Amino acid sequence: MERFDIVVVGAGLAGCVAAYTAAREGLQVVLVERGSQPGTKTVSGGLLYTHALGRLFPKFWEEEPCPVERAIDRNVVSFLTPTRAASLDYFDAEFSRPPFNAFSVLRSRLDPWLAAKAEAAGAVPVYGIKIDDLVKENGHVVGIRAGDDEIRADVVILSEGSNAILARGTASPPKPDPHVVGVGVKQVIGLPPGEVERRFQLRGISGTQYTTIGFPSDVEGGGFLYTNRETLSIGLILGMESLVRKGVSMFEVLEEYRQHPLLSRLLDGGTLLEYSGCFVEEGGWGRLLPLFGDGYLVAGSAAGFFLNSGFTLRGMDFALESGRIAGETAVRAVRAKDPSAASLTSYRTALEQSFVLKELRAFRGYPAVFRNPRLYGTYPEILTRLLHGAFFTDGSGRPHLRKLLAESYRGRASLTRIARDAWKFSSAL
């Protein structure tokens, strides 16, 4: 049995930052990760909004090795049907200048870079060990257990990602709800040198991201395609309940997605380098786990910090910020020799003052909006029909736009239904 001031479970973004923050204050910190190295077990699309990382490591993009891939200055949001795409295409030159808005990242590079920061600050790395359980005394968490080994600490930070098996065991978490459980699947595709720049018309470190709604097998969920330096990241987050209802596997749906004519030309000739999948809890504000208790704090996606707006997918900046705040809270508790729940409430207060809980509360209507099945079939169909009519010309006398508009929704959704959905979308956004 060993003893530290703080044990951090999971060397993802939340865990590495929590360990870094506490270790640089001179506390004895151990960072435990089940993967043989940080980044080997994580699944993430990989679009990182930079603000939270920039606050910790200003100009991180200039470091060697560089932890990030491309500065995203072109954001394309597309509604897909099997052969069409109706897109909003937003280019912003400011986004590819310091301090940058968002970078594409590969977690196999970012996580080891961040873990190295924690190690350099003094955190002790223990990799290749899966923590099985928490050690409790009189209901108070006093350490962690892996097999017969125990590590004891004043504060345990649980940053084990969205499965959150340990965090779920601490208190009474919300009952599982099949409507808010999703599965994420992702591939990294390698392209020959120079090909990413050529296909996406990129200059320097600039990059493009596609977010898509609708199409593969009408399963509820969305997809993404991000440009990295010499690779592409492509994937989907799909509603579990919808997958089961349609009777398709996520691997089939991903294959179908890759074949979409808008995407397949971008992926042509690529080599599959990585393939991963995981569980995603998309519940948002109403489904957060208890964030702290006697002797422990929960950070990152283990707590349920994830925000999917349909056009942005955010979990990594929430993980970084909550990891930093968890690290700072744990330091105060160790120094005060009081790791009780009463002392650790300051974690929640600090999260409420940060963007983490402010944004999750402000956008608490998102998950309900994205449970609307018309978003994935009916509305992409209506939009693309309208645009097809507007652009298609065969010399037979093009109908007036008003007529096209009426034809695009007739038989698909009533005007009242569309107006109601539009109201719900705008209220949530």
Ligand X SMILES: Cc1cc2nc3c(=O)[nH]c(=O)nc-3n(C[C@H](O)[C@H](O)[C@H](O)COP(=O)(O)OP(=O)(O)OC[C@H]3O[C@@H](n4cnc5c(N)ncnc54)[C@H](O)[C@@H]3O)c2cc1C
Least Cβ distance, residue 92 to ligand X (angstroms): 18
Q: Scan residues 254-283 and list those touching ligand X (CB under 6 A).
A: 278, 280
Taking CB under 6 A as the rule, does residue 316 contact ligand X?
A: yes
Least Cβ distance, residue 421 to ligand X (angstroms): 25
3-state secondary structure of 172: coil
Placement of tokens 């955190």 in the chain: 123
Say how far apart CA 339 and CA 378 lie, in whole Å: 52
Backbone dihedral angles phi then psi of residue 88, each to the nearest 5 degrees: -105, 125
Least Cβ distance, residue 112 to ligand X (angstroms): 11
Taking CB under 6 A as the rule, does residue 125 contact ligand X?
A: no
Question: Whose Cβ is closer to ligand X: residue 241's or residue 421's?
Answer: 241
Least Cβ distance, residue 162 to ligand X (angstroms): 6
Q: Which of 7, 14, 243, 350 binds ligand X (CB under 6 A)?
A: 14
Least Cβ distance, residue 406 to ligand X (angstroms): 38
Question: Whose Cβ is closer to ligand X: residue 315's or residue 327's?
Answer: 315
Q: Scan residues 193-252 and list those touching ligand X (CB under 6 A).
A: 235, 237
Q: 253: number of CA atoms within 13 Å, CB side?
A: 29
Q: Which of 5, 33, 69, 73 binds ligand X (CB under 6 A)?
A: 33
Taking CB under 6 A as the rule, does residue 160 contact ligand X?
A: yes
C-beta neighbour count of 221 within 10 angstroms = 30
Taking CB under 6 A as the rule, does residue 314 contact ligand X?
A: yes
| Segment interacting with ligand X, rule: CB under 6 A, options 242-250, 264-272, 308-316, 420-428 | 308-316
Element containing residue 110 per DSSP (H, E): helix 107-121
Placement of tokens 């690290």 in the chain: 327
C-beta neighbour count of 174 within 10 angstroms = 15
C-beta neighbour count of 194 within 10 angstroms = 9
If we measure between CA atoms, which residue out of 66, 139, 78 comes closest to residue 293?
Answer: 139
| Segment interacting with ligand X, rule: CB under 6 A, options 27-35, 195-203, 334-342, 418-426 | 27-35
* Strand 2-9 with 29-33, pairing: parallel
CB 218 within 8 A of CB 246: yes
Q: Which two tokens stand for residue 45?
A: 């699309």
Taking CB under 6 A as the rule, does residue 161 contact ligand X?
A: yes
Taking CB under 6 A as the rule, does residue 184 contact ligand X?
A: yes
| Length of the chain in terms of residues written | 429
If we measure between CA atoms, which residue out of 244, 304, 294, 351 comes closest to residue 134?
Answer: 294
Taking CB under 6 A as the rule, does residue 367 contact ligand X?
A: no
By CB under 6 A, how many residues form the interface with ligand X? 40
Taking CB under 6 A as the rule, does residue 286 contact ligand X?
A: no
Contacts of 112 (CB under 8 A, 6+ apart): 37, 38, 39
Q: Which of 74, 168, 186, 258 binds ligand X (CB under 6 A)?
A: 186
Say how far apart CA 250 and CA 238 lie, in whole Å: 8
**Interface pattern 84-123 for ligand X (x via CB under 6 A):** ----------------------------------------
Q: Scan residues 372-391 and list those touching ligand X (CB under 6 A).
A: none
How big is the chain by its Cα radius of gyration, in Å?
A: 23
Residues that bind ligand X (CB under 6 A): 9-15, 32-35, 41-48, 130-131, 159-161, 184, 186, 235, 237, 278, 280, 300-302, 306, 313-317, 319
